[in-house]
Each structure stands twice: as C-alpha cells, then as structure tokens.
Structure 1
Amino acid sequence: MRIISHTCSNTEIVCTLGRVDWLVGVDDHSDYPPEVVERLPRIGPDLDVDVEKILALEPDLVITSLTVPGHERCLERMEKAGLPLLVTRPHRLADVAEDIRRIGEAINADSAAAEWAGRFEQALNRQPPPGSPVPILVEWWPKPVIVPGRDSWVNEMLALAGAVNPWADQPAESLEVSTEMVRDAAPQAIVMSWCGVDEAKYRPHIVRRREGWEAVPAIAHDRIFAISEAWLGRPGPRLLDGIELLRRVVQGVGAG
C-alpha cells in the first residue's frame, strides 16, 4: 500500500503502527521520526498541500485531518481530485484512540493499533493526583494569546496531571484570551506550547513582559514552562508522554 500522510500526528501514527515502509509522502511540517521523514517526498505545508504532487505519488490512501483551521480547504481540494481519504478530527483522548484504531484497520495494522488504543484507555482510567486541580494556561500562540477551549484533548491531559484549563467551558477548539480574562483566571503556571515553533525558539520573556500580566500568579512566581507542541498539540501517541510532562509542571507549582 502507498500511503501519504498529511499532518504531523498522522505521520507519527503510521510510523508507530509499523508502516514506515508504506509511506511515500508527507506534509512539509512532519518532522518525526526524523530518520523516516527526512527521506520522504514532501507534499507542501499542512495548510496548503500541493494536490498535483499528491496525485503524482499515486497513493492508495491519504490520511488527512481537520485539527487546524484551514485544513478544510485542503480537504476540499483533495476530495475534488478524487483522492482516497481517511479524515481525522479528534477532540478528546478517546477520539485519538479511535483514530489510531481506524488508521490501523485501514493500513492492516490492527494489532498494533489495538495495543496503542489500549494505552490511551489505561491513561484515561488513571486517577488524577489528590488535591485541588491547579489552573494552568496552555499557550498555543503568543500574540494574540491563543489557548485551548472546550473541544480540546488538552483538557483531559491537564485533568490527568492534576490541573485544569481555565477555559475548558468555552465552546471552541481554541480561542483568543484577553489580559482581563487571564487576570480573572489567575493561572498558577503558563505552559508555552507554540504550534509550529521549535521549542528551542520559545521565549519566556515574551510572556513575562506582557502589559497587565504582572499580578498573574504564574508571572509573579515566574512559573513559565516550555513543552513542545509535539507533546501536547499533536493528536497521536506522544500525547501520553505529554501527560507526564504536565504532571511535572503541576509538581513544580507545588514545590514552589
């Protein structure tokens, strides 16, 4: 089977399920595992894929996604071209597990998919740490400040780590928050997880110097953490590691 993966998360799922040799192309932003993606043809950025390049690679299956605003335009163009598509759009960790199962079934990797889906189910069954949940601001983008809303798997990740997203009740996948909203929420920590930016380029001083944020507990106590969006923003196997990284943030707040 000839598989093309559109989006980092789908690339990681295919590789985790043992179908590396079936991949014939990936989007420009897929970067993991590096030893795999470095040798593969690229189909363009995830928000502007080159349909002609995809057609030229003669895929039997294109695994695509609707996890980011703008993906729907790519999907429309691929549908118009008559490409064989499998579309993911998870909002919860259980959805991620189900997508892994669906992809596994489509690429003849049912056993591996069942194992990984089971790991997500085990994680969801774990009890969160005792005590009141710690309000934590997870920051997808620094200017304007974009955070997860109600329809994000990050809410469950935070809960399993002993934390809470102050905007978990907002009916959106993500939303822009104002200075007033952040002051009212009073997050005890801020996690930079800037989408599409290498973690080495995250800049805590950009968060610290925001006007009006001085009294926010996370800023006042200098609790600004960096966790690559690879661990929080990509709905694939590494979200399980992301939960553990968030646990460390919660522990850091408690130690402070």
Structure 2
Amino acid sequence: MRVVSHTCSNTEIVCALGARDQLIAVDSDSDHPPEVVSELVQLGRDLQLDVDAAMALKPDLVLTSLTVPGHQRIVAEFAARGVPHVVCNPQNLGDVFDDIHRIAAALAIPERGERLVAEMQAAMPLQSQRDDAPRVLVEWWPKPVIGAARRSWVHDLIERAGGRNALGAADMQTHSYAAGEPPAEDIDLIAMSWCGVKVDKYRADVVVRRDGWQDVPAVRDGRIVAISEEFLGRPGPRLVEGYRQLRAAIEAID
C-alpha cells in the first residue's frame, strides 16, 4: 500500500505500527523517526500541504487530521479528489487510541493496532487521584497564553499522571488568557509545551515576567517545566513520554 501522511502524529503512528515501508510521502513537519522521514518525499508544511504533488504519487491511502485549525482545507481537497483517506480529530485519549485502531485497520494490520494501544495503556498507568492533586497548566503558547482545556487528550494525560487540569472546567479544546489577565485558577505547575518551538528554546523567564502572574503558585514557587510539544502535542505513541515527564514533575511537588 502507498500511504501519504499529512501530519506528524499519523506518521509516527504508522511507524510505531511497523508499517514505515508503506509510507511514500509526508508533510515537512514530520520529523520522527528521522531515519524514516529523511528518505521520503516532503510535501510542505501541514497547513500548506501540496495536495497536487501528493496525488501525483498515486497514493492508495491518505492519513490526515483536523487537530490544527486550517487543516480543514487540506482534508477537503483530498476528499474532493476521491482518494481513500482517514481523518483523525481526537478530543481525548480514548479518541487517540481509536485513531490508532482505525489507521491499523486501514493498513490491514488491526492486530498491530491492538498491540500498540495495549502497550501505551500499560505504560501510562492511572495514578491515585488525591483530593489535593496539583493543578497543572499545559501551555501551548506563551503570548497570548493558550492552554489545554477539557476537550484535549492532555486533560486525560494530566489526570492519569496524578494531577488535575487547571483548565479542566473549560469545556473546549483550548483556553486563551487575555494579555495581563491573571488566571482565575490556582496553578501549581506550569508545563511549557509551545507548539512548533524546539524545547531548547522554551524560556521559563517568559512565564515569570508575565503581567499579573507573579502570585500564581507555580510562578511564585518556581514550578515551571519544559516538556517538548513532540511529547504532548502529537496524539500518537510518543504521548507515553509526555505522560512520564508530567508524572515526574507532578510527583516532585511536595
């Protein structure tokens, strides 16, 4: 089967399923596993994917996504071409597992999907939830501040890791804070996971200097950690590493 992947997470799922040999092209944001993607045709950034170039490769299957605003146009273009495609749009961790099953089924390897999901679930055990569980903000962007809210697989990761999502009451995918707006929520831990930024460029001082945030417990007590967006922002197998780092940061709180 000749497979085109439109997003990083789908590329990583295919490889984790042991089907990397079926990939013929990926978006240029797909950077893992490097030894695989470096050998594939690059179709451009996920929001500007060259659909004509993808179709010229005569794919049997396109794996696409609605996880980023603007992906709708790319999905619609593939749908209009009539090519078989799978669209992922997870709102929680269960949806991520379902997407892995759907991709595995589309690749005719359903048993590998079952095995991968079982391995991920075993690697992310649910920690006991204390009444005083730390409130965690996973921050997708620093200015304006955008955080993961309830309709996000990150909400589930935080809870599995033993914390509470500081934005868990917000029934949406993300919540944005206005400039200078102090958070109404008490936040015990801030995890910087800035989208599209390499983790070595994350700077805690950007959070510390933020207007109105000096009395936030996480800022006041220096509980600001960096977790690569590769491990939290990509709904695929490497969420396991994001869970591990969240759990370690939560357990480090007295």
What TM-score do you get using the length of structure 1 for normalisation?
0.94
Distance (Å, rounded) in 1 between the aligned partners of 2:22 and 2:173: 32
Aligned to 2:220: 220
- Any idea what the Cα deviations from partners look like across 1:136-174, whole Å, max 9, x if unmatched? 111001111111122101111101111111211212111
Aligned to 1:209: 209
C-alpha displacement at 1:130, in angstroms? 4.4
Distance (Å, rounded) in 2 between the aligned partners of 1:129 and 1:168: 15
- Any idea what the Cα deviations from partners look like across 1:29-77, whole Å, max 9, x if unmatched? 0010011111111111111211111111111000000111111111112
Which moved further from structure 2: 151-160 or 102-111?
102-111
Distance 1:21 1:68, change over 3 A: same
What amino acid is aligned across from residue 21 of structure 1 in structure 2? D
Distance 1:188 1:126, change over 3 A: closer
Aligned to 1:175: 175
Give ranges in structure 1 of 5+ residues lacking alignment. Answer: none
Which moved further from structure 2: 163-172 or 188-197?
163-172
Are residues 1:143 and 2:143 paired?
Answer: yes
Aligned to 2:185: 185
Aligned to 1:96: 96
- Any idea what the Cα deviations from partners look like across 1:98-150, whole Å, max 9, x if unmatched? 11111111112222211112234446763435452211111001111111122
Give ranges in structure 2 of 5+ residues lacking alignment. Answer: none
Q: Is the 8 A contact 1:149 1:170 kept in 2?
A: yes
Distance (Å, rounded) in 2 between the aligned partners of 1:138 and 1:188: 11
- Any idea what the Cα deviations from partners look like across 1:185-225, whole Å, max 9, x if unmatched? 12111100001111111111111111111111111111110
Distance (Å, rounded) in 2 between the aligned partners of 1:126 and 1:136: 16
Aligned to 1:43: 43
Are residues 1:6 and 2:9 paired?
Answer: no
Are residues 1:19 and 2:19 paired?
Answer: yes
Aligned to 2:240: 240
Distance 1:124 1:169, change over 3 A: farther
What TM-score do you get using the length of structure 2 for normalisation?
0.94
Q: Describe the SS at the equivalent of 1:168.
A: coil
Distance (Å, rounded) in 2 between the aligned partners of 1:39 and 1:120: 27
- Any idea what the Cα deviations from partners look like across 1:73-98, whole Å, max 9, x if unmatched? 11112212222211111111111111
Q: Is the 8 A contact 2:181 2:211 kept in 1?
A: no
Aligned to 1:163: 163
Distance (Å, rounded) in 2 between the aligned partners of 1:24 and 1:78: 16
Distance (Å, rounded) in 2 between the aligned partners of 1:105 and 1:79: 19
Distance (Å, rounded) in 2 between the aligned partners of 1:141 and 1:125: 28
C-alpha displacement at 1:20, in angstroms? 0.8
Q: Describe the SS at the equivalent of 1:83.
A: coil
Aligned to 2:199: 199
Aligned to 2:119: 119
Give the number of equivalent residue pairs.
253
Distance (Å, rounded) in 1 between the aligned partners of 2:199 and 2:90: 24
C-alpha displacement at 1:235, in angstroms? 0.5
Aligned to 1:54: 54
Distance (Å, rounded) in 2 between the aligned partners of 1:25 and 1:33: 14
Q: Describe the SS at the equivalent of 1:47.
A: helix
